[in-house]
Amino acid sequence: MDKQPPSESRPGRKRSEESRMAILVAAFELVGEVGYAGLTIEGIAHRAGCGKQTIYRWWPSRAHVLLDALAVKADLYVTNADHGSYADDLRVFLEDSFRLGRRQRVVDILRVLMAEAQINEEFGRLFRSAFLQRRRDALQVVLDRARARGDLPPRPAASTVLDIVFGTLWYRILATGEPLGADLVEELTALLVQAAPPPTGTATALGDRR
């Protein structure tokens, strides 16, 4: 009996992946044209050239489609490749992340998804696992490689580095609207690459009062 081809090479699977990507591209493009308020599953299906049921087979709502589209976009445009040092790896990761974060359509989608995550408990859990944690995991690769290489500073802790990077990104997108520019990349890189001295004891920090 002839062997079946691997599942990833089967024509049906390839067509499904092509259809899925067409839907994600359609949603990303369409929300930039009509806004989130005007985005509908029907509109996405029409733009992608598929039926509504095809979309509903994979995603329960327009927010879920956009979440997947944005996650794919981030994976494509933000690299965590090895550039030889922690400083260079981190700088490129920040440059890629902030460049994507300057695109108005991306900013608009991020704001919509964050808002949806606050009012929809199920979507909030998915948003944290499928997007927020996914981006943290991408940066964690840079930190783990630096630790293995021996050039990761002992402080701040890796979890704090993640909080600083993404806290800065989200604060500027959601709260201040301040730019995510080259100066910020250099400031954060310098801040996070420079090794901090070990913490001093309370008595030393406050002075010996005996």
Q: Are residues 72 and 46 in the same domain?
A: no
Q: Are residues 167 and 89 in the same domain?
A: yes
Which domain CATH number covers 149?
Answer: 1.10.357.10
> For the chain, what is the mean pLDDT?
90
Cβ within 8 Å of residue 46, ≥6 positions away: none
What is the pTM for the complete model shown?
A: 0.84
Q: Is 163 a member of any domain? A: yes
Q: Is 45 a member of any domain? A: yes
Q: Specify the number of domains making up the chain.
A: 2
Stretch 48-57: mean pLDDT, rounded? Answer: 96
pLDDT value at residue 117: 97
Asked if residue 156 has pLDDT above 70, the reply is yes
Q: Which long-range contacts (CB under 8 A, 24 or more apart) does 26-32 make?
A: 27/62, 27/65, 27/66, 27/69, 28/66, 28/69, 28/70, 28/73, 28/105, 28/109, 31/66, 31/105, 31/108, 31/109, 32/105, 32/108
Percent of the chain with pLDDT over 90: 84
Cα separation of 148 and 146, whole Å? 5
pLDDT tens column, 74-128: 999 999 999 999 999 999 999 999 999 999 999 999 999 999 999 999 999 999 9
Show the domain range for 39. 13-58
Which domain CATH number covers 36?
Answer: 1.10.10.60
Q: Are residues 83 and 151 in the same domain?
A: yes
Task: Name the token pair of 103.
Answer: 């695109």
